Amino acid sequence: MPLSTSDRSVVEPAIRRLSALRLLSAEARASLEYAMLEGLQRGGPGEDLLAEGDSVDSVRILLSGWLCRYKMLEDGRRQIVNFIFPGESCDTHAFLLPVMDHSIATLTPVVYAEIKRARFESLLAGDRSLAEAFWCETLVNNAIQREWAVNLGRRMALERVAHLFCEIFERLRPVGMVEGNSCIMPVTQMDLADATGLSVVHLNRTVQELRASGRIVLRDRTLTINDLDALKDAGLYSPSYLQLYRRG
């Protein structure tokens, strides 16, 4: 569903995030903004943007809402392997590989920019820092993916959930989606369970434990972290892997 708007602020999260990774020239910024505004799309919740096995011929940059990357096992078990937050892009270089190894789904209503591959490539060809910013994003993504392996492999339920909440909070902050000590949490507990490798029931109990100990408030789709440092301790969280404020 194409979306037209004259409001350039919709693309701001992407510009913000990329600028944090690499200092972008005014021209690079402008041409990217323009390309994004031309390709604005909307999606409803619960849609697959890309499915495992699809080939990819365009780049998507999320501007609002949440996406997730997930994989399914034959018998229906689902693992969310990562979230995608506003400002982040789906697959800037996925076309170098033949097909998607995983699926990408909307968890909420979303707005994103879709840029055709050729267009995207010429954008990158025109500006080295832009190319580097997108590559950095891939590398940071890789680092996040590694931390998820640690989370799933070596942390206990309470630590896992605490860690995930810290990560979400810290990833939303640089794109301006944190207010005070709160951010939105627009996903179901089933999604959180699939992201932490827990059953819904146990995830629910774990969340309640975090609530009961006063570490978080989670209601009305809003997460409030009373004491972020305490939650980080509980989740054995060390933020360096996000490399949030890099500038080459």
Partner DNA sequence: CGATAATTTGATACGATTCAATATATGTGG
Partner DNA sequence: CCACATATATTGAATCGTATCAAATTATCG
State the residues that interact with a second copy by CB under 8 A: 52-53, 69, 71, 73-75, 77-79, 81-82, 93-94, 96-99, 101-102, 132, 135-136, 138-143, 145-150, 152-155, 196-197, 236, 240-241, 243, 246, 248
Nearer to DNA, 58 or 206 (CB): 206
Partner whose binding site includes residue 97, from DNA, a second copy, none (CB under 5 to 8 Å by kind): a second copy
The DSSP line for 145-195 is HHHHHHHHHH--HHHHHHHHHHHHHHHHGGGT-EETTEEE--S-HHHHHHH
Nearer to DNA, 32 or 207 (CB): 207
Residue 204, binding choice from DNA, a second copy, none, Cβ under 5 to 8 Å by partner class: DNA
∠ Cα 121 125 127 (to 5°): 120
Where does this chain touch DNA (CB under 7 A) — which range of 26-34, 126-134, 150-158, 166-174?
A: 150-158
Alpha helix locations (H) across the chain? 12-21, 26-38, 117-126, 128-154, 157-172, 189-196, 200-212, 228-234
Pairing relation of β-strands 110-116 and 182-184? unpaired
Is residue 198 close enough to count as binding DNA by CB under 7 A? yes
- Residue 104: name its binding partner from a second copy, DNA, none (Cβ under 5 to 8 Å by kind): none
Q: Which residues contact 14 (CB under 8 A, 6 or more apart)?
A: 32, 36, 61, 62, 63, 86, 87, 89, 113
Helix (H), strand (E) counts: the chain: 8, 11
Does residue 205 touch DNA according to CB under 7 A? Answer: yes
Closest CB 151 distance from a second copy, rounded Å: 8
CB of 99 to a second copy, least distance (A): 7
Task: List residues near DNA by CB under 7 A.
Answer: 156-158, 188-190, 197-208, 220-221
